[in-house]
């Protein structure tokens, strides 16, 4: 556990005290830890730990407890990133359609030229081609698509702390 990695400054920092930071640091490493084990690590009672975790969930500091499974184990070993430029009047409809597609894991609206940044996982290049030529081409308002294939992953932590 390294609670020093948790930011202490910036927006919302005043809503998380040092004990909460310690709890978050432990949960980021192992969200399956019991309240009793967590209490022993952070030095407060099990009941206090539980109350703090529930309060952080209520305040949406903790969004959810989950696991990460590499896509290759789900039969989709090909990660692909798209920069999709969209006309301003259709950006929200395109983003919603992309968000509903089963191969898409992330859709972000970016600054700049009405751009959507999209992460997806596919079985192979033929699936990527079908996605672009059949699905994307059917969405009105798309002006351009830049496709990039992931060659090597250096870091894939979604936690701000780690």
Domains annotated on the chain, with CATH: 3-58 (1.10.10.10), 71-149 (3.30.70.920)
Grouping H, G, I as helix, E, B as strand and the rest as coil, residue 102 is coil
Q: pLDDT at position 50, please?
A: 97
- Whole-number Cα distances in Å, 46 to 16, 30, 55, 66: 19, 16, 14, 22
Q: pLDDT at position 11, please?
A: 54
Sorted by sequence, the CB contacts under 8 Å of residue 155 that are 6+ apart come out as none
Separation between Cα atoms, residue 132 and residue 138, nearest integer Å: 9
Separation between Cα atoms, residue 137 and residue 133, nearest integer Å: 6
CA-wise closest residue to 31 among 63, 4, 6: 63
Range in 36-45, 105-114, 124-133 the model is least confident about: 105-114
* Mean of all residue pLDDT scores within the chain: 89
Q: pLDDT at position 9, please?
A: 47
- pTM for this model (two decimals): 0.73
């Amino acid at each position: 556990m390294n609670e020093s990695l948790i930011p202490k400054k910036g927006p919302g920092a005043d809503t998380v005290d040092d004990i909460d930071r310690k709890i978050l640091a432990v949960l980021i490493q192992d969200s399956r830890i019991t309240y009793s084990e967590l209490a022993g690590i952070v030095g407060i009672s099990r009941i206090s730990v539980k109350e703090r975790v529930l309060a952080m969930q209520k305040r949406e500091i903790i969004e959810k407890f989950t696991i990460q499974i590499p896509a290759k184990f789900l039969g989709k070993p090909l990660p692909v990133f798209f920069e999709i430029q969209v006309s301003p009047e259709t950006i929200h409809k395109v983003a919603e359609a992309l968000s509903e597609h089963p191969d898409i894991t992330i859709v972000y609206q970016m600054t700049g030229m009405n751009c959507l940044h999209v992460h997806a996982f596919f079985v192979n290049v033929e699936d990527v081609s079908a996605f672009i030529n059949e699905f994307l081409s059917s969405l009105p308002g798309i002006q351009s698509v830049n496709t990039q294939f992931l060659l090597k992953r250096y870091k894939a932590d979604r936690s701000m702390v780690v």
